[in-house]
């Protein structure tokens, strides 16, 4: 297992995702002799996981069962331990496409945060690209580095614990793409530019507040970035349901036989009662060659 | 209102008033009744002290649930003198940042500290608060405010407030109709004073009340209702002046076919002969049977009173001797029969009045919002509208309205058909922290709207109706291929 | 005919709406002897309109036919002559509910613009309310006043040609609700307050740009308005369609009879390709009693 | 790219390169071919002069359609020194505010004035421009810019640009798949280097190209195609290096059932005997017939070449004598037959290679985006996936995906099923004029995503699958009642 390469079978040291049900998953570090408790009972790693095929059904000690899934950046995003607000798959997907990431891309990112986006970037730029990720919070930077090792992607990433607004990304002239998710992105625009290849590249800044967007766009325009474009993308989930709609009884006329009260079953979808109304504004820009 | 604009009395809370309690975004409808407990957000309150105060007064909930008017502005002031960090970099999440324990907080409460004071204590005892960004500080305060503040504002009810209240608290009772959707319906149906509007709803009376509010006591509203009784507990919550109820009529849908066929007899029955002309529907018969029909069943759950009656009856029967029970039953039967006759006569009069309004088939508007399949409801009730009048049909789901649309296109008699929904998002507007709210409603339901026209069965070529849907369909099929 | 009261039959001097097809309607001032040209040919008012019932089908000179509809504020909104950007029904519906308008309400509005909202307000506050509408553009104010007369709602409205930011609404202490659709609403907040009843009322400001919203919210908070709430409401139209989905041919096995290629018809809706993405932000607030 | 990051040559426009032309939000794919006219926005252009320049250079289109590189920054500068009025109060709409006539403008054009200069002239000759609000001025300039500016930027193609291009210009050719929806699909399917991905699409190859871009030449992509030929004109537009095509395989879906049943014979046929073992599908036979099958018909419209051939054939036959025609037909038949044999052998090899990749039923991902009913496509192709692998199905419409969802729940073998779409809106961010764009896309289509798991037919009680959908359904029914 690695986050950038599928394996067929679960091995010692893997991170596997236990699928208990929709919106109920947990990551497990697979270790000989270890046990993991779920609401369906315990899973014994040695007998229940190691050597089994990913996707297998595993019966827990209480008789209920779960599926064991191969980790992906997307499953990781919904199961990772939150150390910060994280980016979710909808925004990540958009960022990946709009930054034109692909195998071989060199990317600079700040902050690393909980590593949700980092894993998705690494998946996309492997096996020949590299991610330089900067996190000013020391504990977070260390935890992220440790996770990258556990997930066997550490050869593709360099984690730096520094303040990107003061100290930049620690590299110059190498990046095809830069991603900013920091409180004052406008302060990092110059550093972003320095990190990018002289031939140019793409930049994305994620900010929850419109004032941050305004200052960032201003800084980007000032620094000569082109194609500056701000957008918002929101996910809408449609839960599939069958609903029963009763038919009204308008009464039968004497000449007719009495109407039977009936209902019609309709296949439809319902939205969740509350949905994400905002994650952040995504501002994209192109750096022309300098 | 213009008619008594300078009269302050209508702006004061009076005994018997229907009001809405508000805390943050939480609303609850209530009536001002002396010495009567009201539950609001898991707290018992007595509303007695509110009497005489102006609407929109904020009250602090004291010990024992009594209300004490809060000094104005106290609430609005920013809770903490903010000293914000610029970022969260130095915050370590170890769960130890709050020095006050649960017990400490309970003690503060017992000491009679108000919500706001407790929150200040929490802030003062948080080792990380000052290091948090302004954004995070604000989130923290809001969270704690919700938990510890103990105030309630008393509002005069309105369609706006009640619609938000129902959607927020009990969307299931109003078929998940969101307030902006209701707003669209009232406007698209051109509901206004002086018109004659048909309403068919199973939204606890919210939609009916909304229509009545818009008509301001002028004109007529006819509630077309399913089952044995019109259900509209929500209308009461609007607290309309009594003359508003003069415009409200009701008609049971189980007589719609008879009314349309001209076979409905709404004349008073001669009690001596007890007969009605054979071809006409016998009203008494039908009213009596309606109560027991299948049709009525889904309503029983909502209709507290009748369900209660039934169960009381059943349990009392169980532990008596057969003879005594029989005798009692006879007596009750007699009393009930008498009661029923009175009710029946009342009902007959009401129905006759509504039938008279419907018979001209010249209603000015039709509003449907129910858990029933909208298609037969719409097709049935549309017949009562005059030509060139708007109608709106709400459904929580899109699919049944697609069917309505298709059916209406088939049968004709309507133009300007449109199936829509609305997207609604709220914003936080604050200096340097402006953004859409992080959560929004997933959906507010769908509306099909249209306008009636005179029916004409000779379809001419080159007509708007023939020309309208076809080309688009064709175009779509092309791009599909 | 009046915009606040239905009539059954078309009369001389009425404004009727000719319905040619979806999104194709035109208002006509009905005059004895007049003619109106449509793409289906001419409509002669004396014979084709006057005395006919609203909702009737009228055959035009070229043989095609149209429907003649009774005017409503909503039909007027989609057919009125644009003198400015106008408010559309989706926003109008929200404004009407959130301002708690009803028969008897006294409302102040600025600017009058093309009168789209004004007509909807008048419909709702009739027969006992009043609208004070202020428009700084002289020509527009005059045209609006003329339209109100033609639409037989002039007894319910006072049009003033002045600058609301300088001169206010021309009334004090009478309004239950105030509506602002002007470039600098924050400059009119004090005047709005003055126009409102001492017992308080509701205010709405419509602005396309977020900076206007920010300044307005600040001014509202400063003036002691409560329940300040900004929102956006967007209409989504669902066009009903039947689409044909071909079934794939995965090939038949020797033992089976060959599959016939077939298609399935599905009833669905499609959104228009482009839809309104923004009209404006609606900011609502409550004025407590003073 | 990391491997040749400092090599400037890949950043320069070369002859033969596939490029994208851009003006404002308008894109068009083209190839750099010398002396070849390209139509862009109703103008003829020769791209010759672009060769040697860097990508992202903006060119002015000169007389005769030749390109001249524009000095940088010229474009970006604000067109007019703005002197804005504060409101529009004094503007009278009389249609007389512009002093330049249409003829004047044509003359300016003939004088060789550039777009920007014409716009300045228009502004100078507008009596109302200075009185307009900044907002209105900006709108005016944008409108005129669109009309008179005459530049084009040349871009290196990418999935981002091509997806936006197709959606903007020819959404019908990509089943109305919006670029953000495509982005979701690529991510949800975990498309990445080194994996084995199945693609079934009728989106002109855009989806296939997008998958190939994400795989960077590592791994395998198998295009499962309907009809006689895989159709993917859009893949060419990506301008992939040639080694990318080594990972691309193709397999006709009409052999899927045979492959799954183990009856597909992909061995080279002995030309002398011409026989294959009876129970096996005869490949030649099936390839030949496939081309003529009903199945293929919907493709013909898109497939320019074959349709052209057919019509040419038909018209040439018409005006000849019977005899001559017969002879010619024989000859052509012969030549065609030979040609067909070569093609067939090529096809056989390709299919054998693809079949070998599919036979293990261990693909890592499945991406479906087509005009076909997604349900049978998904159920058929899902069988080729290994367990614990993601799949995504796109459909322009929600209803067919509801059916997919229901069917998958019935047959099992998948988890984490989710039906979604995305809402996308762009913003204008400018000092004091920040707002969402006034128009947005009506819809980007729907995506059903999920993950395969090992199939197990013994359904235990208390299992996640049994427990998952039922409670929600129940809850909904309750609130409905």
> What ipTM describes this predicted complex?
0.89
* pLDDT for the residue D398: 97
Alpha carbon distances (Å) from C141 to C27, C121, C132, C169? 20, 17, 12, 14
> Do β-strands B220-225 and B196-201 pair in parallel, antiparallel, or remain unpaired?
parallel
Residue contact D171–B371, C-beta within 8 A: no
Q: Over range D235-260, report the average pLDDT.
A: 96
Band of residue B116 on the pLDDT scale cut at 50, 70, 90? low
Which 119-178 residues of chain B touch chain A by CB within 8 A? 133, 135, 171
* pLDDT for the residue B293: 40
* pLDDT for the residue D292: 40
Band of residue D154 on the pLDDT scale cut at 50, 70, 90? very high
Give partners of D (≥3 CB pairs < 8 A): A, B, C
* pLDDT for the residue D78: 40
Report the residue from B86, B89, B255 with minimal CB separation from A137: B89
The string of pLDDT tens digits covering residues B361-391 is 999 999 999 999 999 999 999 999 999 999 9
What is the share, in percent, of chain C residues with pLDDT greater than 90? Answer: 94
* pLDDT for the residue B334: 86
Residue contact D480–B171, C-beta within 8 A: no
Residue contact B480–D172, C-beta within 8 A: yes
What is the share, in percent, of chain B residues with pLDDT greater than 70? Answer: 69
Residue corresponding to tokens 């009168």: C115
- The answer to which of A163-177, C74-88, D137-151, D192-206 has the lowest mean pLDDT is D137-151
* pLDDT for the residue D63: 85
Residue contact B158–C100, C-beta within 8 A: yes
Q: Over range B339-350, report the average pLDDT.
A: 88
* pLDDT for the residue B336: 86
Residue contact B171–D479, C-beta within 8 A: yes
Mutate to test the interface with D, among C162, C248, C255, C279 (most CBs of D within 10 A): C248
Residue contact C128–B421, C-beta within 8 A: no
Stated pTM of the model: 0.87
The string of pLDDT tens digits covering residues C8-63 is 999 999 999 999 998 899 999 999 999 999 999 999 999 999 999 999 999 999 98
Chain B residues touching residue A247 (CB < 8 angstroms):
372-373, 376
* pLDDT for the residue B106: 67
Residue contact B422–C240, C-beta within 8 A: no
Band of residue C193 on the pLDDT scale cut at 50, 70, 90? very high
* pLDDT for the residue D5: 46
Residue contact D480–B371, C-beta within 8 A: yes
pLDDT surpasses 80 at D317:
no
> What are the residue ranges of helices labelled H in B179-255?
179-188, 206-215, 233-237
Architecture label for domain C75-234+278-287: 3-Layer(aba) Sandwich (3.40)
Residue contact A234–D422, C-beta within 8 A: yes
* pLDDT for the residue D347: 86
- Among all residues of chain B, which has the CA nearest to that of D477? B172
DSSP state of B39: E
* pLDDT for the residue D123: 74
SS3 of B304-361: the string is: HHHHHHHHHHHHHHHCCCHHHHHHHHHHHHHHHHHHHHHHHHHHHHHHHHHHHHHHCC
Find all residues with CB under 8 Å of B82, minimum gap 6, and list them.
B134, B137
Report the residue from D159, D422, D477 with minimal CB separation from A90: D422
* pLDDT for the residue B474: 34
- Domains defined for chain D, CATH in brackets: 10-72+83-156 (3.10.330.20), 165-264+333-455 (3.40.50.150)
What is the share, in percent, of chain D residues with pLDDT greater than 70? Answer: 70
Q: Is B429 an interface residue toward A (CB < 8 Å)?
A: no
Chain D residues touching residue A156 (CB < 8 angstroms):
none
pLDDT surpasses 60 at D287:
no
Point out the annotated binding site of C for S-adenosyl-L-methionine. 114-117, 135, 181
Chain D residues touching residue A22 (CB < 8 angstroms):
416-418, 468
- The answer to which of C272-281, D304-313, D373-382, D427-436 has the lowest mean pLDDT is D304-313
Report the residue from A254, A267, A272 with minimal CB separation from B263: A254
> Do β-strands B439-441 and B365-369 pair in parallel, antiparallel, or remain unpaired?
unpaired
* pLDDT for the residue B436: 98
- Among all residues of chain D, which has the CA nearest to that of C113? D89
Residue contact B263–A253, C-beta within 8 A: yes
Rounded Cα distance between C110 and C84, Å, is 13
Cis peptide bond N-terminal to A124, omega within 30: no
pLDDT surpasses 80 at D249:
yes
Point out the annotated binding site of A for S-adenosyl-L-methionine. 114-117, 135, 181
CA of A46, closest CA in chain B: separation in Å?
Answer: 32
* pLDDT for the residue D481: 28
C191 HSE (CA, 13 A, CB side)? 22
Q: Over range C252-279, report the average pLDDT.
A: 82
The answer to whether the beta carbons of residues C157 and C131 sit under 8 Å apart is yes
Chain D residues touching residue A210 (CB < 8 angstroms):
434
Residue D56: is it exposed, middle or buried by C-beta count within 10 angstroms (0-12/13-18/19+)? buried
Give partners of A (≥3 CB pairs < 8 A): B, D
For CATH 3.40.50.150, the residue range(s) in chain C are: 75-234+278-287
pLDDT surpasses 90 at B168:
yes
Evaluate whether the domain defined by C9-71 bears CATH number 3.10.330.20.
Answer: yes
pLDDT surpasses 50 at B471:
no
Relative orientation angle of helices A89-98 and D179-188, to the nearest 10 degrees: 110
Q: Over range A263-270, report the average pLDDT.
A: 95
> What are the residue ranges of helices labelled H in B251-321?
256-261, 283-292, 297-300, 304-318
* pLDDT for the residue D280: 45
Q: Which of C19-28, C169-178, D226-235 has the highest mean pLDDT?
A: C169-178
Residue contact C197–B160, C-beta within 8 A: no
pLDDT surpasses 50 at B58:
yes
Beta-bridge mates of residue D39: D44
Band of residue D375 on the pLDDT scale cut at 50, 70, 90? very high
| 3-class DSSP assignment, residue B113 | coil
Q: Over range B313-327, report the average pLDDT.
A: 58
Look over chain B and give the mean of its residue pLDDT values, rounded to a whole number.
80
SS3 of chain A: the string is: CECCECCCECCCCCEEEEEEECCEEEEEECCCCCEEEECCEEEEHHHHHCCCECCCEEECCCCCEEEEECCCHHHHHHHCCCCCCCCCHHHHHHHHHHCCCCCCCEEEEECCCCCHHHHHHHHHHCCCCEEEEECCCHHHHHHHHHHHHHCCCHHHEEEECCCHHHHCCCCCCCECEEEECCCCHHHHHHHHHHHECCCCEEEEEEECCHHHHHHHHHHHHHCCCEEEEEEEEEEEECEEEEEEEECCCCCCCCCCCCCCCCEEEEEEEECCCEEECCCCEEEEEEECCC
Residue contact B478–D172, C-beta within 8 A: yes
CA of B284, closest CA in chain C: separation in Å?
Answer: 36
Residue corresponding to tokens 């002969």: B273
* pLDDT for the residue B456: 65
Higher pLDDT pick, C23 / B36: B36
* pLDDT for the residue D135: 59
Report the residue from B298, B399, B442 with minimal CB separation from A273: B442
Rounded Cα distance between D36 and D44, Å, is 10
The answer to whether the beta carbons of residues D184 and A90 sit under 8 Å apart is yes
Q: Is B255 an interface residue toward A (CB < 8 Å)?
A: yes
* pLDDT for the residue B283: 54
For CATH 3.10.330.20, the residue range(s) in chain C are: 9-71
Chain A residues touching residue B433 (CB < 8 angstroms):
209, 211
* pLDDT for the residue B141: 73
Chain D residues touching residue B480 (CB < 8 angstroms):
172, 371
Q: How many CB atoms lie within 10 A of CB B346?
A: 10
Look over chain D and give the mean of its residue pLDDT values, rounded to a whole number.
80
């Amino acid at each position: 297992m690695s986050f950038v390469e599928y394996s067929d079978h679960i091995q010692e040291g893997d991170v596997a995702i236990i699928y208990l049900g929709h919106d109920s998953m947990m990551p497990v570090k697979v270790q000989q002799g270890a046990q993991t408790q779920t609401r369906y009972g315990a899973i014994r790693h040695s007998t229940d996981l190691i050597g089994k095929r990913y996707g297998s059904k595993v019966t827990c000690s209480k008789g209920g069962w779960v599926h064991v899934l191969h980790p992906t950046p997307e499953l990781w995003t919904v199961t990772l331990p939150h150390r910060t607000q994280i980016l979710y798959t909808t925004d990540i997907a958009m960022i990946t496409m709009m930054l034109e990431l692909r195998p071989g891309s060199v990317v600079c990112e700040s902050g690393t945060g909980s590593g949700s986006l980092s894993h998705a970037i690494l998946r996309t730029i492997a096996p020949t690209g590299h991610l330089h990720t900067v996190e000013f919070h020391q504990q977070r930077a260390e935890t992220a580095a440790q996770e990258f090792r556990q997930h066997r992607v550490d050869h593709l990433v360099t984690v730096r614990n520094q303040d990107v607004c003061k100290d930049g990304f620690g590299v110059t002239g190498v990046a095809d793409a830069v991603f900013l998710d920091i409180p004052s992105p406008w302060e990092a625009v110059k550093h972003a530019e320095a990190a990018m290849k002289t031939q140019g590249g793409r930049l994305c800044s994620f900010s929850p507040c419109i004032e941050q967007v305004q200052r960032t766009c201003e800084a980007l325009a000032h620094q000569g970035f082109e194609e500056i474009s701000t957008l918002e993308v929101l996910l809408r989930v449609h839960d599939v349901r069958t609903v029963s709609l009763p038919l009204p009884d308008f009464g039968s006329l004497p000449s007719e036989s009495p109407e039977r009260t009936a209902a019609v079953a309709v296949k439809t979808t319902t939205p969740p009662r509350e949905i994400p109304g905002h994650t952040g504004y995504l501002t994209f820009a192109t750096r022309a060659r300098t | 209102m213009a008619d008594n604009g300078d009269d302050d009395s209508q702006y004061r809370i009076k005994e018997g008033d229907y009001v809405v309690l508000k805390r943050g975004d939480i609303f609850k409808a209530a009536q001002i009744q002396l010495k009567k407990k009201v539950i609001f957000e898991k707290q018992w309150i007595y509303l007695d002290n509110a009497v005489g105060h102006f609407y929109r007064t904020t009250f602090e909930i004291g010990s024992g649930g009594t209300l004490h008017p809060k000094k104005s502005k106290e609430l609005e002031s920013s809770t903490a003198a903010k000293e914000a960090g610029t970022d969260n970099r130095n915050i370590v999440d170890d769960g130890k940042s709050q020095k006050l324990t649960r017990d400490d907080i309970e003690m503060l409460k017992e000491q009679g500290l108000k919500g706001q004071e407790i929150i200040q204590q929490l802030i003062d005892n948080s080792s990380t608060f000052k290091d948090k960004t302004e954004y995070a500080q604000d989130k923290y305060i809001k969270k704690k405010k919700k938990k510890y503040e103990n105030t309630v504002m008393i509002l005069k009810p309105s369609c706006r407030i009640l619609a938000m209240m129902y959607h927020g608290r009990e969307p299931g009772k109003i078929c998940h109709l969101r307030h902006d959707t209701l707003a669209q319906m009232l406007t698209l149906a051109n509901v206004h004073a002086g018109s004659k509007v048909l309403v068919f709803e199973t939204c606890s009376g919210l939609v009916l009340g909304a229509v009545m509010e818009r008509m301001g006591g002028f004109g007529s509203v006819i509630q077309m209702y399913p089952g044995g009784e019109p259900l509209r507990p929500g209308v009461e919550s609007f607290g309309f002046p009594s003359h508003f109820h003069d415009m409200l009529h009701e008609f049971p849908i189980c007589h719609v076919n008879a009314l349309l066929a001209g076979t409905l007899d709404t004349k008073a029955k001669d009690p001596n002969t007890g007969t009605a002309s054979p071809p006409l529907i016998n009203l008494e018969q039908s009213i009596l049977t309606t109560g027991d029909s299948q049709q009525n069943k889904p309503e029983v759950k909502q209709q507290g009173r009748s369900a209660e009656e039934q169960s009381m009856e059943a349990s009392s029967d169980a532990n008596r001797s057969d003879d005594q029970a029989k005798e009692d039953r006879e007596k009750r039967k007699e009393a009930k029969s008498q009661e029923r006759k009175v009710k029946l006569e009342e009902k007959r009069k009401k129905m006759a009045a509504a039938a008279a309004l419907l018979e001209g088939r010249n209603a000015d508007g039709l509003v449907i919002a129910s858990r029933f399949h909208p298609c037969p409801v719409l097709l049935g009730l549309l017949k009562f509208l005059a030509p060139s009048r708007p109608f709106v049909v709400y459904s929580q789901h899109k699919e049944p309205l697609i069917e309505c649309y298709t059916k209406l296109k088939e049968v004709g008699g309507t133009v300007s058909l449109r199936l829509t929904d609305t997207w609604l998002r709220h914003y936080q507007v604050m200096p340097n922290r402006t953004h859409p709210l992080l959560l929004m409603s997933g959906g507010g339901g769908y509306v099909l709207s249209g306008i009636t026209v005179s029916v004409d069965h000779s379809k001419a070529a080159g007509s708007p109706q023939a020309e309208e849907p076809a080309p688009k369909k064709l175009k779509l099929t092309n791009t599909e291929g």
